[in-house]
Structures are given as structure tokens and as C-alpha cells.
């Protein structure tokens, strides 16, 4: 249990185009999803929190018009990087809050990440 599928694993796009990243909870309903950004050999920085059916809450300094987040169902959240530029190149990771599956009682599960490279 507790599988979070994130696609694509990597994507290369031209500057000025938009890219959509999907995050799906395969065997549980994710009431809340989180999107993080990670630069090489650095920490994960929270970008935004999304709850199903409502607008995402963005962290300070994150451009909501550039990073569009949609959480239309309890199993799918998408992050769209609009008008991508080389400085948007990064590793993007989603995490989903679900139910407890394991002895640790932890309810937060991570996707495998998406490497975005903007040329």
C-alpha cells in the first residue's frame, strides 16, 4: 500500500513552454498533497499545499501564476510550470497525506520525483 505515482520522471522542454507534472495516489485517497522543489545536492523546499477541491496555498516567494496546482480529485494533483525558463530547472517532488498503512503509523508518502530541464 501507500504508492504515490509521479509522472513524468524526467522532462526536457524549451524555454517558454508549459509542463505538467502529475502526482497520483494509487491505493488511497489523498486529502492533502504537497509539492516540493529540490536543487542539486540541496534540501527540499515546500512550494505549496493543495487540498482536494480547493485552491492551493503557496509558500512565500512562490509565484502562483507560474506554478499552477490543481487537486481536482482525491487521487490526483497536478503541477503545471507555465512559461518555463532555465531557472525553473529543478527536481520536483510531491507527497500525499493518506491513511496509515505501516507500523510506524506515518501517513505521508512521497512520489518518485520529476527532473525538469528547461533549455
> In b/e form, how buried is each residue of 40-58, taking b as 16+ CB within 10 angstroms?
eeeebeebbbbebeeebeb
Shortest Cβ distance from residue 4 to another protein (Å)?
10
Measured between alpha carbons, how far is 33 from 118 in angstroms, rounded to an integer? Answer: 25
The answer to the question of residue 93 lying near another protein (CB under 8 A) is: yes
Tell the smallest beta-carbon distance from residue 91 to another protein (Å).
6
Of residues 52, 76, 97, 117, which one binds another protein by CB under 8 A?
97
Nearer to another protein, 14 or 103 (CB): 103
What 3-state DSSP class applies to 53? Answer: coil
In this structure, what C-alpha cell is assigned to residue 102?
A: 505501516
The footprint of another protein (CB under 8 A) covers 32, 34, 38, 41-46, 49, 91, 93, 95, 97, 104-108, 110, 112-113
Amino acid at each position: 500500500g501507500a504508492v504515490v505515482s509521479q509522472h513524468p520522471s524526467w522532462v526536457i522542454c524549451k524555454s517558454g513552454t508549459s509542463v505538467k507534472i502529475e502526482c497520483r495516489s494509487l491505493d488511497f485517497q489523498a486529502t492533502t498533497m504537497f509539492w516540493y522543489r529540490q536543487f542539486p545536492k540541496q534540501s527540499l523546499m515546500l512550494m505549496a499545499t493543495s487540498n482536494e477541491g480547493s485552491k492551493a496555498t503557496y509558500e512565500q516567494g512562490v509565484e502562483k501564476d507560474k506554478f499552477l496546482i490543481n487537486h481536482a480529485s482525491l487521487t490526483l494533483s497536478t503541477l503545471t510550470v507555465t512559461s518555463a525558463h532555465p531557472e525553473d530547472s529543478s527536481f520536483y517532488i510531491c507527497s500525499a497525506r493518506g491513511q496509515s498503512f505501516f507500523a510506524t503509523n506515518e501517513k505521508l508518502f512521497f512520489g518518485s520525483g520529476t527532473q525538469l530541464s528547461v533549455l
